[in-house]
Amino acid sequence: MSGERRRTRTAILISGRGSNMVALIEAARDEAYPAEIVLVAANLPDAGGLERAAAAGIATASVDHRPFGKDREAFEQALDAVLRQHDIELVVLAGFMRVLTPWFVGRWQGRLLNIHPSLLPLFKGTHTHARALEAGVAEHGCTVHFVVPELDAGPTILQASVPVLPGDDEASLSARVLAQEHLIYPQAVAQVAAGTVRLENGAVVSA
């Protein structure tokens, strides 16, 4: 990159192995990619993705949510302090298994993204693949969206769909959706980091 444009300082929040995290790190290896992954943080100190991020040369942090008990906002304040220490501009959730409070969502409004394994607004919440199979839908998929206080209700940035095939089970359907997640999440993060897509008055606006 010739250096005219500064890359957006981005943090990825994880709770587990971070397969979407790896896809984002790979995309950001290209210096022309508009987001620079400068931090991977987890709410569990033994999250497998932390080791993978460190091996890729990225700073890591863990803020264990458990000592905070039911005080979710106190946990988020500690997490927010770590993000501010690293001058983070964009926060990307990649398998981060905590429901965020309105305080945190409001603090990062328009700069907080999530990927959900369904074609929202269908199948909000968990066990999306099992529910899709049970409902007998012909198509399933994934959605990248801005995070709002209501769970899985934020405006959509990108979606990808896959066919539900005869004989599919949770594992086969999940694998097909995950492959699409790894494609569209880096695309969506790039769009927001570059400023070509933004959140305005509760809607997604393209520049």
| Nearest CA among 60, 143, 146, 141 for reference residue 106 | 146
Tokens read off for 49 = 């993705």
| Nearest CA among 135, 143, 134, 133 for reference residue 164 | 133
Helix (H) or strand (E) holding 115: strand 112-116
Tokens read off for 193 = 């980091």
Phi/psi of residue 83, nearest 5 degrees: -60, -40
Give the SS3 label for residue 34. Answer: coil
| DSSP code of residue 97 | -
For residue 65, indicate whether it is catalytic: no
Query: Scanning the structure block, which residue is given the tokens 């993060």?
Result: 189
Q: How far apart (Å, rounded) are the C-alpha atoms in residues 161 and 179?
A: 11
Active-site residue identified among 65, 86, 116, 140: 116
Is 183 exposed, middle or buried, given 0-12, 13-18 or 19+ CB atoms closer than 10 A?
middle
Tokens read off for 54 = 């460190």
Tokens read off for 112 = 């907080």
Please identify every residue annotated as catalytic: 116
